[in-house]
Amino acid sequence: MDIRVGLGHDTHRLEEGRPLILGGVTITHSHGLAGHSDGDIVLHALTDAILGAIGAGDIGDLYPDTDALWKGANSRLFLDGAMARMQGQGFEVINADIIIHAQNPKLGPSKDLIKNQVASFLGVDPQRVNIKAKTGEKVGHIGRMEAMACQAVVLLQKDFGGRDHDA
């Protein structure tokens, strides 16, 4: 059996008036994440975790923020691109564990929504996705509400049930 682990991380600045989108879920808040795309740190970290697991570089290699094509992009596009590569190599997701670092708003009430949305994007049962939320203890860039960050780890396995994959 071929099993791979991948790690992803992302940080985005907070900006007043931007929509706050975490794991594809829009969360009511005064500030959102600035960025060339929609700033969804959860999907960016997950995309990097998957790309890492299959040895395919990082999100910036595939979707450079100098490319006008990705301006304001829905980050689902990036995740779908990474998943297509993953599937092309014959892998499927076993599980994903995700930490969102945010001082505000309190993400407790949104964790299940984010989990269910991310699970549906990954095509797995929600019990295979875990969302943790941490504050910045009011210190550092997270605690001062200058930014949010996300870490994601994924485990993949080669799907031996279907076609022959040697990629």
**Least CB distance from residue 73 to Mg ion, whole Å?**
11
CB of 59 to Mg ion, least distance (A): 7
List phi, psi (to 5°) of 154. -125, 150
Residue 112, CA distances (Å) to 70, 132, 133 in order: 28, 10, 11
How many residues in total does the chain contain? 167
Letter for the amino acid at 149?
Answer: A
Residue whose CB is less far from Mg ion, 55 or 60: 60
When the beta carbons of 44 and 85 are compared against Mg ion, the nearer one is 44
Residue nearest to Mg ion (CB): 44
Which of 31, 44 has the CB closer to Mg ion? 44
Torsion of CA 71, 75, 81, 86, to 10 degrees: 150
Rule CB under 5 A: which residues touch Mg ion? 10, 44
Q: How far is the CB of 41 from Mg ion (least distance, A)?
A: 6
